[in-house]
Amino acid sequence: MKLFIIFFLCIVILVGVTGYFSFIKSKAIITTKMAGATQQTVEQAGDKLDLIFTSFESTTFDVLTDTELTDNLEIYSSESDAYEKLTASKKVLEKLTKKIYGKTGLTNIHLLPTDPKLGPITTASASKLELPEKYVKEPWFEKSVKADGAVTWVETKQKGYTELGKPTFAASRLLKIGDKRFVLLLEIDSQILVDGLAKIKIGKTSDIIILSRENKLIIPAKSQKIEEVYHIPSIVDFNKLAADDPAAVSGNKTATIDRKKQLLVYKNMATSGWTIEAIAPVSELVEETSQIAKATWVIAFIAALIACLVGYFVARMIGRPLIILRNLMREGEQGNLTVRTHHNSKDEIGQLSTSFNQMMEQITNLVKQTNQSASDVLTTAGHLLHSSNQTAISAREIAQATEEIANGASSLAMDAERGSGLTNDIALQMKQVVEGNTNMGVSATEVQKASQQGTIYMEELTIKTTATEIMTRSMVEKVEHLKNSTSSIRKILDVLNDMTQQTNILSLNATIEAARAGDAGRGFMVVADEIRKLAEQSKHNIGIVGTITVTIQKEIDETVSVLSEAYPMFQEQIKSVKDAELIFTQVQTRMGGFVEQLSSVTGSILLLDESQHILTDAMTNVSAVSEQSSATSQEVASLSNEQLNVSQGLVKLSEELENLSHSLQDTLSKFRI
């Protein structure tokens, strides 16, 4: 059966391993082909997006070279009057709006001055970019200024750069108009990037994304949002890219990500510097290789059937003679030494049969010789058993006598040793009592000193607690004065609030009068509008100060309440400190008497310890004499017991020898010779 199993497993394992390696090889080839095809698709998509980016860069160049626009922008940034500036900004805005209408995906154009005194010009109806302090400190703004006229591409923002719309990315460029500088920001709908990658399909769960150099998402991934750092580190080698290495522009590799083997294909876009990455599980790309795996299992099953048939015939040719030989050996095991095999072939099985017949012949001769030797041993064992019994009886009588002597001496030694041990225990206990009494005296003295020190500390604590009570009472009075001061501040803020309202009304009236005056009142209208804004800002700031003042007044009230509650506690603390001082004084007096009593007890215990030493020496002498007598008796008893044990062992050996002789004869009688 084992031969059949070995033959069967060899064939099945050989077929299975061959099929498995074929499956692995085909899987690797398909992965390589898919990686090449995907890389080609990603490169085409990258080239397409590069064209889109180039067209938007051309738009920034059109703005830069538009003479009419730059002339109006120069008027807007000059020291002209407000009306000319307003007219110039409207013309610039009209130009920018026309450029938006002719460009797909372009949502807004912003001209953001680096000088915070100038307002931005933007095509957005409402924007967070209207306030210079909102954009001048942004990293993308500083990056655009440092580029000094070169186009820079800015990452996508979830709500756009106006923070009021849909996701957008941007192209920026610095414009120099005279001594003024503006950052031109083209805000572009990020959907144009999503549409450019929509046709790339490499798997059911694949992820097609665009990443910045900081590994932030330009378009959303399946599991992450725009502006987040992508959870897979960038595979682009930017050092090689900076050195113009063509191998760094695009490529692919496989890596284990999220416990799955995945294919990563990338293409770095030259215009924007961003990277397109396609990530897909390798298991999805090689789904077709499952057919190869199924074919491998079918072939393995057929090979198993063939192995079963061939193994059966091989096992029958070799196994039948071996089974006959096994049955003959079992008969020999049961005592039949006359069995012989009649297999006379010249192969290895025939040689094994001949060796078996020779072995059985030798075993038969050995059994005959052993049977004769067992009879001789049985006779000798009978004589030895009789002599051993007589020797054992004599040794037992001697051992009993010596054992009685040894027991008496041992009892005396044990009593003497017990007495000596008791005296030693008493001596140790007396020593412990003396040490304990001494330690107790030292501790009592230390407690007395600590009580004196505690009394001094409690007096100092009483003085400091009284001083704290006086300071707390003074603090309550000062906080009450501060509360009255905050009430005065509230009244002043109310007066200021009324003044800002009146100023606002006056600026509104001035605006109406300027409108009636027509072109002559336009300058006055701008001034009135600025006054109105200043009044509104003042009203807002007064409201904030009023809120802070209310908060301060509320916290002052809470402080007065806490200090009022703390004052009775300080009075109770002074009373508790005085009581503790009285307790320390009483402890100091009582500990003085206790120390005197401990000194008297120590003298009595020392006298008792001297008497105990004399008793211990006497018991030690008695114990030594008893131990010598016991040791001599035990040596005699030990020699007697050893003689008895030897005699008994000799008897047992004689009995065992006789039993073994009978057992050997019974065993040999089972064999048939």
Q: Are residues 261 and 395 in the same domain?
A: no
Over range 484-498, report the average pLDDT: 74
Higher pLDDT, 398 or 190: 190
Instruction: Please enumerate in sequence order all residues whose Cβ is within 8 A of that of 199, keeping only pairs 6 or more positions apart, or say none.
Output: 45
- How do beta strands 152-157 and 260-268 pair? unpaired
Q: Are residues 241 and 95 in the same domain?
A: yes
> What confidence tens digit (pLDDT) does each residue in 124-148 have?
876 666 666 677 788 888 888 898 8
Q: Are residues 487 and 619 in the same domain?
A: yes
Is 224 contained in some domain? yes
H or E element in which residue 146 lies: helix 139-147
Residue 479 has pLDDT above 80, yes or no: no
Contact 654, 388 (CB under 8 A): yes
Q: Are residues 273 and 382 in the same domain?
A: no
Contact 182, 112 (CB under 8 A): yes
Q: Which region, left, alpha or beta, applies to residue 280 given φ > 0 means left and ψ of -120 to 50 means alpha? A: beta
Q: What's the CA angle centered on 296, arms 295 and 300, to 5 degrees?
A: 115
Looking at the whole model, is its pTM more than 0.85? no
Which residues make beta-bridge pairs with 393?
none
Q: Are residues 95 and 207 in the same domain?
A: yes
Can you tell me which residue has the tokens 């003298």? 603
Is 170 contained in some domain? yes
CA distance linking residue 649 with residue 388, whole number of Å: 9
For the chain, what is the domain count?
2
Q: Are residues 269 and 377 in the same domain?
A: no
- Give, in order, the Cα–Cα distances in Å from 486 to each of 249, 483, 490: 68, 5, 6
Is 466 contained in some domain? yes
- Show which of 239, 255, 287 is a domain's final residue: 287
Nearest to 538 by CA among 493, 508, 491, 506: 493
Residue 236 has pLDDT above 80, yes or no: no
Q: Are residues 465 and 608 in the same domain?
A: yes
Tokens representing residue 481 in the block? 């004065």
CA distance linking residue 48 with residue 458, whole number of Å: 89
Contact 528, 511 (CB under 8 A): yes
Over range 53-69, report the average pLDDT: 89
CA distance linking residue 279 with residue 266, whole number of Å: 9
CATH of the domain at 262: 3.30.450.20
Exposed e or buried b per residue across 326-347, where buried means at least 16 C-beta atoms within 10 angstroms of its C-beta? eebeeebeeeebebebebeeee
CA distance linking residue 446 with residue 303, whole number of Å: 97
Least confident of 302-316, 429-443, 620-634, 657-671: 620-634
> What confidence tens digit (pLDDT) does each residue in 541-598 have?
777 877 877 787 777 777 767 767 766 776 776 777 677 667 767 766 776 666 677 6
In this structure, the chain runs to a length of: 673
- How do beta strands 152-157 and 168-177 pair? antiparallel
Nearest to 169 by CA among 120, 112, 211: 211
CATH of the domain at 465: 1.10.287.950
Residue 316 has pLDDT above 70, yes or no: no
Estimate the crossing angle of helix 348-517 against helix 522-668, to 10 degrees. Answer: 170
Q: Are residues 380 and 263 in the same domain?
A: no
CA distance linking residue 280 with residue 283, whole number of Å: 9
Contact 539, 497 (CB under 8 A): yes
Q: What is the predicted pLDDT for the residue at 579?
A: 73
Is 595 contained in some domain? yes
CA distance linking residue 671 with residue 338, whole number of Å: 9
Contact 567, 473 (CB under 8 A): yes
At 45, is the pLDDT very low, low, confident or very high (cuts 50, 70, 90)? confident
Q: Are residues 463 and 597 in the same domain?
A: yes
Over range 91-96, report the average pLDDT: 88
Q: Are residues 78 and 227 in the same domain?
A: yes
CA distance linking residue 267 with residue 276, whole number of Å: 5
Contact 218, 169 (CB under 8 A): yes
Is 386 contained in some domain? yes
Is 349 contained in some domain? no
Main-chain dihedrals φ then ψ at residue 71, nearest 5 degrees? -65, -45
Higher pLDDT, 665 or 106: 106
- Show which of 253, 287, 321 is a domain's final residue: 287
Residue 428 has pLDDT above 80, yes or no: no
At 119, is the pLDDT very low, low, confident or very high (cuts 50, 70, 90)? confident
What DSSP character marks residue 672? B
Q: What is the predicted pLDDT for the residue at 340?
A: 75
Tokens representing residue 276 in the block? 């397109």
Over range 8-19, report the average pLDDT: 71
Q: What is the predicted pLDDT for the residue at 254?
A: 80
Higher pLDDT, 260 or 23: 260
Q: What's the CA angle centered on 153, arms 148 and 159, to 5 degrees?
A: 125
- Show which of 263, 287, 311 is a domain's final residue: 287
Domain that holds residue 659: 369-666
Instruction: Please enumerate in sequence order all residues whose Cβ is within 8 A of that of 660, keeping only pairs 6 or more positions apart, or say none.
Output: 377
Is 297 contained in some domain? no
Question: How many of the other CB atoms lie within 10 Å of CB of 441?
Answer: 18
Is the four-CA dihedral 339, 340, 343, 346 of positive or negative sign? positive
Is 309 contained in some domain? no
